[in-house]
Chains A and B, each alone.
Chain A
Amino acid sequence: MPSLKHAAPTTVEGACSLLEEHGDRAAILSGGQSLLPKLRQRASSYDVLVDINGIEGQDYIERDGDQLRVGCLARHADVATSEIVEQAIPALADAVGLIGDIQVRNRGTLCGAIATAHPSGDPPTMVSLLDADIVATGIDGRRIIDGPSFYEGDRTTALNDTEIVSEVRFQIPGEGSGAAYEKWTPAEGSYPIAAVGALVELDDETVTDARLVTGALEGRPTEMPDASAALVGEEATDEALSAAATALGDHADPSEDFEGSVEFKRELATTMAKDALDGATERARE
């Protein structure tokens, strides 16, 4: 490991002032599951690690009206096994419960993964799907960034250099709505090649609203309005859901790389979309 300095502030504000003081030479260390591999491989270099693990009272998971609030030190394992999450947004518990493996989930934090903005990360797709609010705390105080505009590109977010994601607030799907998340990974525990989140609102059997978001395909979570719009007003039949899934695959714009061709990824996206739509529709009926 390269030589580093370590500072453990006891408040979020203290962490932000360290970021201000040390600029791009400083990085936030929470779970460290993405940061430490990068440091070890010399893919990133920092002089100062701002270790936020000692900040008290930041590992909360709570329901506030129609929002689910998760603090910056809640770990994936806490979110995945939380009864509050399971009740409010089971799709989020599913998605987070399939991140990496148990060892990674025991350390990694949800807000850390949201800020890391890995193009194939599961939490960013859920942020976009569930229209989450990102609470960013910086030296000038807090501001709220809405989920769909938080991701500006591959590993690029709307956070500025002195801000950290101090909380995420997910919108809980209302009565008659359901969400689901499906992904395809080339190996156990690895990042997905294609992922799809689906949100469906039903009135009786008619789709009154739908949202589809892809992950892993285009460098950041990508809403697929053309595919979801065709569902609205339709009956939630197997044919209609299949047609929307096919439309999603057709509209997806993945790039070819060592993991697969464009055609292969579109095919995967269609399959994941159908599974996610089936799951979301099932939950909407409950």
Chain B
Amino acid sequence: MSSETAPPEPQSEVSISLTLNGRDVTRTVEAGTLLSAFLRDGEFLTGVHRGCESTRCGACTVLLDGEPIKSCNVLAVQVDDQEVTTVEGLADEDGSLHPVQESFWDTHGLQCGYCTPGMVLNSVALLEENDDPSVTEVQERLSGNICRCTGYTKIIESVRNAADAIDDD
């Protein structure tokens, strides 16, 4: 086999460069590090909530190049050269909240708040694609995000109100 096609030697530690909440960062991570562990334990972004650690609850949802993914089910090495947004990256630098965060606040779209970062990030991505989602579309979209405090009525209302607020701007 020629050297051109020789596959790389497997490594225990891998260097990754990514854009994290708008900042360029380069880090060395152990190959098996979950993205959720990298974000929480390495970058202290504790808005990434670990809920079920089994890909069911969606509390650890972050945006990868703008698309929602579950950070407990992706390795940190897999986000090399990409853009990651956590809930900490949504507000403006002056602290003013993203319209979706604002709407969850105003509409009482949270109780304990544990699921909220995942709900908010998934909703932000939804509204980027569809600026006027129906109740059914919001329900389908948030089906991978579980709230155990209560029903989902206020959460869905928060997303709908955020769509209206963004539309009014």
- A7, B8: Cβ atoms under 8 Å? yes
Is A156 part of the binding interface, using a Cβ–Cβ cutoff of 8 Å? Answer: no
Chain A interface secondary structure, helix, strand, loop or mixed? Answer: mixed
- A26-65 with Cβ < 8 A to chain B: 29, 32-33, 36-37, 39-41, 47-49, 51, 53
Bitwise interface map of B from 12 to 53 toward A, beta carbon under 8 Å scored 1, else 0:
101000000000000000111110010000000000000001
Q: Are B77 and A51 in contact (CB-based, < 8 A)?
A: yes
Q: How far is the CA of A15 from the CA of B1 in the complex (A)?
A: 13
Residues of B within 8 A of A101 (CB): 58, 143-145
Query: Which stretch, A102-110, A130-138, A213-221, A254-262, touches the partner chain B?
Result: A102-110
Cα separation A49 to B33 with both chains bound (whole Å) = 12
Determine if B8 and A107 form an interchain contact, defined as CB atoms under 8 angstroms apart.
Answer: no
Judge whether A17 is part of the interface by a CB distance below 8 angstroms. yes
A15 touches B68 (CB 8 A): no
The reply on A141 being an interface residue by CB < 8 A is: no
Does A6 contact B31, Cβ atoms closer than 8 Å? yes
Whether A49 contacts B58 by the Cβ 8 Å rule is: no
User: Is B8's CB under 8 angstroms from A9's CB?
Assistant: yes
Number of chain B residues close to chain A: CB under 8 A? 38
CB distance A53 to B10 under 8 Å?
A: no
B32 touches A29 (CB 8 A): no
Q: Separation in Å of the A134 CB from the closest CB of chain B?
A: 23
Do the beta carbons of B32 and A4 come within 8 Å of each other?
A: yes
Candidate in A9, A53, A104 with the most chain B CB atoms within 10 angstroms: A104
A5 touches B10 (CB 8 A): yes
Which of A6, A22, A48, A77 sits near B14, CB closer than 8 Å? A6
The answer to the question of A186 belonging to the interface, with a C-beta cut-off of 8 Å to chain B, is no
Q: Is B73 an interface residue (CB 8 A)?
A: yes
Smallest Cβ distance from B63 to chain A, in angstroms? Answer: 10
The answer to whether A103 and B70 touch across the interface, beta carbons within 8 angstroms, is yes
Chain B residues within 8 Å of A9, by CB: 7-8
> What residue of chain B has the Cβ atom nearest to residue A19's Cβ?
B7
Q: Of the candidates B5, B32, B75, B141, which one forms a contact with A3 in the assembled complex, judged by CB atoms under 8 Å apart?
A: B32
Could you pull out 18 A-B pairs where Cβ atoms are within 8 angstroms? Answer: A3-B31, A5-B12, A6-B11, A6-B12, A6-B31, A11-B5, A17-B5, A32-B75, A36-B55, A40-B54, A40-B72, A48-B10, A49-B10, A51-B77, A101-B143, A102-B143, A104-B73, A188-B143
Q: List the 4 closest pairs (A to B, CB-CB), nearest first.
A: A101-B144, A5-B10, A6-B31, A14-B7
B residues apposed to A, CB below 8 Å: 1, 5-12, 14, 30-34, 37, 53-56, 58, 61, 64, 67-70, 72-75, 77-78, 122, 141, 143-145
Beyond A5-B11, A39-B32, A103-B144, 18 extra complex contacts between A and B, CB < 8 Å: A3-B30, A5-B10, A6-B12, A7-B8, A9-B7, A14-B7, A33-B55, A33-B73, A36-B75, A37-B54, A37-B55, A40-B53, A40-B54, A49-B31, A101-B58, A101-B143, A104-B73, A106-B68
